[in-house]
């Protein structure tokens, strides 16, 4: 609920903490890495156009099905494009959370600018008659490239962290076990040319790439139908584009999340940012290209209404939390009830955060359902996202609960009594 309290001791004064594995330790990390790669592989190669899990999968056997020079150039160019944009002096410079020694890193928040530049690049390509619809046919090769780049970058980050000081190490990825540390990430905030790689990758190439691939889907649908894409596809594309724009408009909010303050930048986050998000979060759009669905105006309006409800909960709770973390004495928050802790921090126990401990997760889940409903119920694949997201958010809620209990002790127990439900009121 609140940011990590800065430690004022030096590296030499820090006490050695016992190793505490997450995700089942080294074996669990290895299994997760293999499973994540397998899901991206199957979703984008084996079930790329059929989208049906009811048929026996056919694994491609030709090299061209996996490696394509244009796809490699396109993906690497996309990463370079966003690295350059991160250096453009546009947007606010904000302070991150205090690190172990009390230092606060500065972050250039120009993600929304990067989004606009990316959309402009896409429409510029359309205006210049570049066949953007043809990108659809190399998505499998783009996915393979993303997998390979994730492994290479994770290895480089692992090697780079060999001699970093303790103040720059993550608390989770320096156990001494190579497999586990590779997965979790040894360095908390790796920077190259003053660009924070974790911060940029978290919201730029993957999230914006997700929207770009959705636009490719719309272009492909237009090419197939003579300029009349399926309304369900357009609706889902709009939902997801709005979600990404919101994340980038409030980009500084990510600086207080577990990914930035707690987790190292290892394979878990690298792969998640660069391969998983753009090539798994888009399953609904890809499905609707191959299986257009027909819905009445009333049904589409219901989908829009459900997405709006989820967004209101998601945005309202996140804004309330971020405002409270930035300035707990903000007059706009005076009506909210809080609970004191021994660390000097206070926990919100009213407003959105009196509804459940993670109302932002609740909003996220509602939106995920709204994105899958336009796909209907005849296939399983487009429903993968809300099922996966539920599992992910339950795990994150459990991890957050463990951290907060270690941090706040008895105060956290009192908080849990006041706010007993983690994500879904009266259910969980």
The answer to whether residues 164 and 302 belong to one domain is no
**Do residue 166 and residue 57 come from a single domain?**
yes
Q: Assess if residue 34 is contained within a domain.
A: yes
- Return the pLDDT at 165: 84
For residue 395, tell me if it sits in a domain. yes
**In a shared domain, residues 189 and 66:** yes
**pLDDT-wise least confident of 72-76, 141-145, 173-177, 383-387:** 173-177
Distance spanning both ends of the chain, measured CA to CA: 18
289 and 316 in a common domain: no
The total number of structural domains in the chain stands at 2
pLDDT score, position 20: 75
Residues 240 and 337 occupy one common structural domain: no
The pLDDT value given to residue 51: 65
pLDDT tens figures, 4-53 = 333 333 333 334 455 678 888 999 999 999 999 999 998 888 777 666 66
Q: Residues of 259-289 as b/e, b for ≥16 C-beta within 10 angstroms? A: bbbbbbbbbbbbbbbbbbbbbbbbbbbbbbb
Do 333 and 275 lie in a common domain? no
Say if residue 301 is in the same domain as residue 371.
yes
* 276 and 153 fall within a common domain: yes
- Tell me which of 141-150, 213-222, 258-267 is least confident: 258-267
Structure tokens belonging to residue 225: 């139908």
Q: For residue 34, what are its two tokens?
A: 């293999």
Q: How confident is the model at residue 350 (pLDDT cuts 50, 70, 90)?
A: confident
Stretch 202-210: mean pLDDT, rounded? Answer: 94
Q: What is the pLDDT of residues 287-311, one digit of tens each?
A: 999 999 999 999 999 999 999 999 9
- Indicate whether 227 and 346 sit together in one domain: no
At residue 348, the pLDDT reads 84
- For residue 352, pLDDT over 60 is answered with yes
Give yes or no for a contact between 234 and 220, defined as CB atoms under 8 angstroms apart. Answer: no
Query: Among residues of the chain, what percentage have pLDDT more than 70?
Result: 93
Tokens of 188: 């908390």
Lowest mean pLDDT among 231-240, 252-261, 383-392, 417-426: 252-261
Give the structural domain span for 330: 296-428
Contacts of 4 (CB under 8 A, 6+ apart): 97, 98, 261, 262, 407
Q: Residue 110 — pLDDT band, cuts 50, 70, 90? A: very high
Asked whether residue 16 is domain-assigned, the answer is: no
Any domain includes 153: yes
- Considering the domain architecture, whether residues 288 and 337 belong to the same structural domain is answered as no
pLDDT of residue 14: 37
Q: Is residue 75 part of a domain?
A: yes
Q: Please tell me the predicted confidence (pLDDT) of residue 19.
A: 61
- State the average pLDDT for the chain: 88
Is residue 2 a part of any domain in this protein?
A: no
**Contact between residue 277 and residue 392 where contact means Cβ atoms under 8 Å apart:** no
- CA–CA separation, 194 vs 199, rounded Å? 11
For residue 14, tell me if it sits in a domain: no
- The token pair at 144 is 């393979």
pTM: 0.88
Q: Label each residue of the chain as H, E or C.
A: CCCCCCCCCCHHHCCCCCCCCCCCHHHHHHHHHHHHHHHHHHHHHHCCCCCCCCCCCCCCCCHHHCCCHHHHHHHHHHHHHHHHHHHCCCCEEEECCCCCCCCCCEEEECHHHHHHHHHHHHHHHHHCCCCHHHHHHHHHHHHHHHHHHHHHHHHHHHHHHHHCCHHHECCCCCCCCHHHHHHHCCECCCEECCEEHHHHHHHCHHHHHHHHHHHHHHHHHHHHHCCCCCHHHHHHHHHHHHHHHHHHHCHHHHHHCHHHHCCCCCHHHHHHHHHHHHHHCCHHHHHHHHCCCCCCHHHHHHHHHHHHHHHHHHHHHHHHHHHHHHCCCCHHHCCCCEEECCCCCEEECCCHHHHCCCHHHHHHHHHHHHHHHHHCCCCCHHHHHHHHHHHHHHHHHHHHHHHHHHHHCHHHHHHHHHCCCCCCCCCC
- Mean pLDDT over residues 255-260, rounded? 84
Given pLDDT bands bounded at 50, 70 and 90, which one contains residue 111? very high
Check: CB of residue 244 under 8 Å from CB of residue 207.
yes
Q: 427 and 302, same structural domain? A: yes
Final residue in a domain of this structure, among 248, 272, 294 = 294
Domain boundary residue, one of 274, 294, 314: 294
In a domain, 4, yes or no: no
pLDDT value of residue 333? 79
Q: What is the mean pLDDT of residues 367-386?
A: 93
pLDDT, position 21: 82
Closest listed residue to residue 204, CA positions, set 283, 110, 344, 88: 110
199, 233: one domain? yes
Domain endpoint, select from 251, 266, 294: 294
């Amino acid at each position: 609920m609140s940011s990590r309290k800065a430690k004022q001791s030096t590296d030499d004064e820090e006490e050695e903490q016992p190793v505490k594995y997450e995700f089942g330790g080294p074996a669990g990390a290895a299994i997760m890495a293999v499973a994540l790669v397998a899901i991206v592989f199957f979703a984008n190669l084996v079930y790329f156009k059929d989208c049906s899990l009811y048929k026996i999968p056919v694994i491609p056997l030709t090299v061209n099905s996996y490696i394509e020079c244009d796809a490699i150039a396109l993906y690497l160019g996309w990463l370079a494009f966003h690295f350059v944009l991160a250096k453009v002096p546009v947007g606010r410079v904000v302070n991150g959370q205090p690190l172990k020694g009390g230092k606060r890193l500065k972050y250039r928040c120009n993600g929304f600018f990067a989004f606009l530049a990316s959309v402009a690049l896409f429409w510029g390509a359309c205006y210049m008659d570049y066949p953007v619809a043809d990108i659809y046919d190399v998505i499998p090769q783009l996915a393979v490239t993303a997998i390979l780049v994730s492994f290479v970058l994770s290895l480089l980050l692992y090697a780079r962290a060999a001699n970093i000081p303790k103040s720059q190490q993550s608390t989770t990825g320096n156990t001494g076990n190579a497999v586990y540390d590779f997965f979790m990430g040894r360095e908390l905030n790796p920077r190259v040319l003053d660009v924070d790689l974790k911060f940029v990758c978290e919201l730029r190439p993957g999230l914006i790439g997700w929207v770009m691939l959705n636009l490719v889907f719309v272009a492909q649908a237009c090419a197939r139908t003579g300029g009349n894409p399926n309304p369900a596809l357009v609706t889902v594309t709009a939902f997801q584009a709005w979600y990404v724009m919101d994340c980038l408009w409030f980009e500084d909010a990510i600086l207080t999340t577990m990914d930035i303050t707690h987790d190292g930048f290892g394979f878990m986050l690298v792969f998640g940012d660069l391969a998983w998000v753009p090539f798994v979060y888009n399953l609904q759009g890809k499905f609707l290209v191959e299986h257009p669905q027909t819905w009445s105006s009333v049904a589409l309006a219901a989908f829009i209404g459900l997405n709006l409800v989820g967004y209101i909960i998601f945005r309202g709770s996140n804004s309330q939390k971020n405002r409270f973390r930035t300035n707990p004495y903000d007059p706009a928050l005076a009506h909210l009830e809080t609970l004191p802790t021994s660390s000097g921090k206070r926990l919100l126990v009213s407003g959105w955060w009196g509804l459940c401990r993670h109302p932002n997760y609740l909003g996220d889940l509602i939106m995920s359902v709204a994105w899958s409903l336009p796909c209907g119920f005849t296939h399983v694949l487009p429903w993968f996202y809300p099922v996966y997201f539920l599992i992910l958010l339950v795990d994150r809620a459990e991890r957050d609960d463990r951290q907060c209990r270690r941090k706040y002790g008895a105060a956290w127990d009192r908080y849990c009594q006041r706010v007993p439900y983690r994500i879904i009121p009266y259910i969980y």
